[in-house]
Structure 1
């Protein structure tokens, strides 16, 4: 596969000694010119130093670089955590010869561990030396924690007859819940996009993708998604049609990364496209989908390949939505398991069990009460998930 490139951007990733295993753990993304920037962050009230710092800096709407580390979250370190976050960006700014305020930071890893800023500072010169136009995969590897593989994506569009590209990397396989976007994600484009339009595009893309996935129902303290646009291609996203096309591309890219995250979820053996339809409102459909997607009993049934539809029915009923149980229908792929609130018998259960043996399948709930619908991408809950998180710090 050819490298993922985007005009005016360079990136890289190296091992700075932050991780105990010696794997890559420090990455850098740089634009060769000032870029418009948009971002969304965790809604957890416990927030890492880099999140607090970035929230302030993105208000200016301009960015040149993002420095990111894995292996240490730089969270719950008090004022020292803020000092370390600023020191990260200062080290990158000095090496790049740019203003510190134009550098954002991100961290992922263990919460509460003292941040090894000296390792970052000593590694930054080498990090900058390794910047190159084909460094996307190295950057993606440098931000991994329990991920088993890097997550990247790209797409191409055209505005005013000029082509542009969007490239992205992401990490995340645990602490995944739709509460902004429980992960790190960095997206960059060589199109020119106004800051306000960029923020709208990112928010909508996140809501349609990262806010529609779950692995374990937990929300991290470090969630950050950053979108940079530097205009190096010459393509300008200004008209309504061009903005709509850019939105479609950004959303598609984020949805692809979101699916990559669920597929690589901690201990995941099943990926499940969950849809709730026939609701009276989108809000009610989303509430039921969210409850089903996060139910430990539903998720363990998926892992056991058990067509225990009663768990899905029960989860729907505790979602805080008033619906008629006697109109409830349920499908595994195209196999109907429940009709009008009653099971469809042993033969249907046998067919549904065959569906559950697939690595990816769909579950559809139809309330038959309206035209609204909502979806989630969820997964099973396995023994390996417990093992991975039981000794995460060791």
Structure 2
């Protein structure tokens, strides 16, 4: 006789928790209350396989058939799996990106940052996003994974995959994403990071390639967004910039945390309702998609800005209090907490310190920030600065 599956325990709700809300336009549930979000992100009643469900809902049968290789590639990303499969697939990547390994990258990231700042100085106008934010995130991930691919190509692959993930119903996005997948997996052949990962069978190779393609993808756009927003915040406040230049204890790290909280690069994570259930009066059905807010806001709410956002006109937040990193959801929560979080924080802190050392008189140009509109990703397309001469 087969085993009977263990019953899934219900969510344990605190008093006053805001119920999930159905969004007619997005055709999904939205969980905005941080207390409920933590539970949903760490509860077996909500599955991680949003790609699979989205393929079913948004891709035509003919497109799914034509681009089966692409959908299989995305399905193999371990962020789409749940325990115990997710735990087993994540563990070797987590060991690879250990805290000691990330710390060992400090000198190399400083070199990369200096290279990108030199490129920024040599371009007109001085745009932080392509030269520095995308340059650093691209070069660091190329070094970590062990591929010889320039940052513009890496970011083009990442943006192309993002467009498809956000609009799977578009055949042109599927076509472009398939091309990006082929190029990305080709570049991964022989990559250093793949050493020690299974490659004996076609299934092993597919899984390993998908894993490291996912790591490349995850370390590019969101990290570039964090780097750009961090520079914008620092240069937008003269007293804060003076504190960064003086490298007062804790200022740089607290600034990075304040940006993560006020303008997180990723605003939402997706989940799929695993079984019919009722939460605070809301009736969720198996297969429903759920957007879990990492910010406490809905998908169409305006993001709390860093400095003055030209989209909302609102002003800067205060730097995060000590220990804030322990309470926010910007890198997820529970088993799916982002394995690259320490690396992203390190890149942002190094950038602030190297920028302040080389260009202590840097300031924002007029109409410096050009924001890229996106429901899930929050970041700058351009950030123009006046470098004010080198130190």
Same fold (TM over 0.5): no
Interval of TM-score (by shorter of Structure 1 and Structure 2): under 0.3
Relative contact order, higher structure (CA 8 A, sep 6+): 2
With the length of structure 1 as denominator, give the TM-score of the two structures. 0.22
